[in-house]
Chain A
Amino acid sequence: MTEAARAAADAARTTAPHAVRLTGVAKDYGPVRAVNDVELTVHQGEFFSLLGPSGSGKTTLLRLIAGFERPTAGRIALAGRDVTALPPSRRDVHTVFQDYALFPHMTVEQNVAYALTVRGVRKAERLARAREGLATVRLDGYGPRRPAQLSGGQRQRVALARALIDSPGLLLLDEPLGALDLGLRHEMQAELKRIQRATGVTFLLVTHDQEEALTLSDRLAVLDGGRIEQTGPPLEVYDRPASAFVAGFVGTTNLLRDEAAVRVVGAPGTYSIRPERIRIAPPGSVPGPGERCLPGRIAEIAHAGAHTRFTVRLEAGDDRLTVLRQHTARLPEAARTGAAVNLVWDTGDAFAVPG
């Protein structure tokens, strides 16, 4: 995408209607309410994630937007058009499925060109555009193969190319990286981001992997029990979780309630302190201005690759706090199990969360 095109797309984003707009959407399966009164807006050209644990209703929400399911209540609008009653084939949306759902009897090229074939595009043009699409996902020359001859990552790219072939207004991705191993997953994450930028298509990603959602998204929504708990840019959601659930689900945190809050934070309510915001200081150290300092003992040390996780038992009240330190960061000599330490943090890093 050229700079001019990007500028044009940015301009369009501000003037054009929202890519997705859900109003009061609910979905029941028998007595079970899978999606409950969801309001959601996704902007044009955005990379948006629906993040939640399994059973939170995120996949149902995606299937409602794609049209595979009909909502029990509420309206669904895509690019300003109400599509609530339309079948999937008449929505300007394509989906990348978790298991890719490639057509096994077609070649890679035929798979990629399927949406064009359905629309009756001439064969020469179809092939040219399929090749172009395969180039975008770096699979040049794979056209004549069958899906069965490809690796998982390659199939993933084919599925992407297939869904992007006719530049849909919206691309839905249902846990697209779930089946890949860790290394490949990171590689594909970068790839997804690159492709989204290159095409300018609005991406709506469903995932349970908070790291994935935080890394990729322009904005994200956290779901729990069929409801949206919080919507916002990754950093905002991470730093200012709107609920105890969000605080716990997005990243790890030390959640302090009631009396523990009084003991540790010094005020009643529910508070969250991110483990990486806490420093370990030698015993007897003096806190600076705006810092809080509590003595304790190291109960447990776990080395987890790039960082080390300490569990510290505070002297007052027997509360346990988790502290994360970069592996490279210099640690006090005395930081070993059983050692007496002081835990120090900026008072601003202990923030109140609702509920």
Chain B
Amino acid sequence: MRCANPWKAAVAAGVLLLTAACGSGGGAGEKAPAEQKTLGKGEGRVDIIAWAGYAEDGSNDPRTDWVHPFEKRTGCKVNTKIAGTSDEMVSLMKTGQYDTVSASGDATLRLIAAKDVAPVNTGLVPNYRDVFPGLKMRPFNSRNGQMYGIPHGRGANLLMYRTDKVSPAPDSWKAVFDGAATYSGKVTAYDSPIYIADAALYLMKTRPALGIKDPYALDSKQLAAAVSLLKKQRQHIGEYWSDYQKEVTAFKGGDSVIGTTWQVIANTAAAEKAPVKAVLPKEGATGWSDTWMVSAKAKHPNCAYKWLDWIVSPKVNAQVAEYFGEAPANARACRETTDPHHCAVFHAADERYYRRVHFWTTPVPQCLDGRKGVKCTDYAEWTRAWTEIKG
């Protein structure tokens, strides 16, 4: 075959570079990063990876701006990079070019294990004091009694629908799974392997025989059941979304009429006059509990700490929580919201409510639901499964 020839050169070049490539250090053998002991002067700049709506500078809505006041107060210029998925956040953090990240539970542990983030000295973050106790020292933000970040807030992945196209109003995830055929071609779903948990959650309620206790702890049989449900769902999917703007336009234009969403997307779409509504279905939902973490290679650690303290300060935390549509992490934020009932609506202090919400967690081989003698499927398997589902 003629096309064998060009490979020879490439292979030769590869051999040449082998030594060079192997020379640079790998991650596994590195020393664990240490927490910062004191807070110094700001470096004048901070590079942030955030979910959409977490670092608003007024460009989307002039009234929504907590970046400029921060810059004014601390002298730290903010550079924000919006990420669409946890995977994107992990990969961006691996570059070492960012100081801090608003990581969800399916990214935090991976970042900690890869030593991409440093432990956080909560003593340097005065506002940490007022964070709900239910968010402190959780498995997804700490390790061996050491916090690895400052809790930001939490919320649920909701079911959004076009009120003019979908009736009766849905109250169950059934609308996007077993009942998806009704809106075939107009159903949307989150484009990430972690979305498998949404299917697992639905199966947990509708098919108890499968024995799912935790949508992030699936043995291979349970994963197969979720995969087959998602493959059936795919027949009716119009498009998958990971870019929140894309979902806004899809619902606005009527290309999608029902599917999973975040409160902030529902708010944005509604603000742009799309007839949409978002509900928490009766099965409960997957959700997130986000943590601001500091990079192990942060170039501007002092500004990063200042940002951590700023974003969980009562006033700002209230602003973010209301804008994004989630429960604030700071208990005192509940007194600062424009809607006095915000904390009640989002069950900020209601730990029982949040038992219905299954926060994103990275699936690992040791089953998170405590089962022994069974090997659970890990995130790599979920990723392969997700590729297979999309076909």
Q: Is A in direct contact with B (CB under 8 Å) within the complex?
A: no
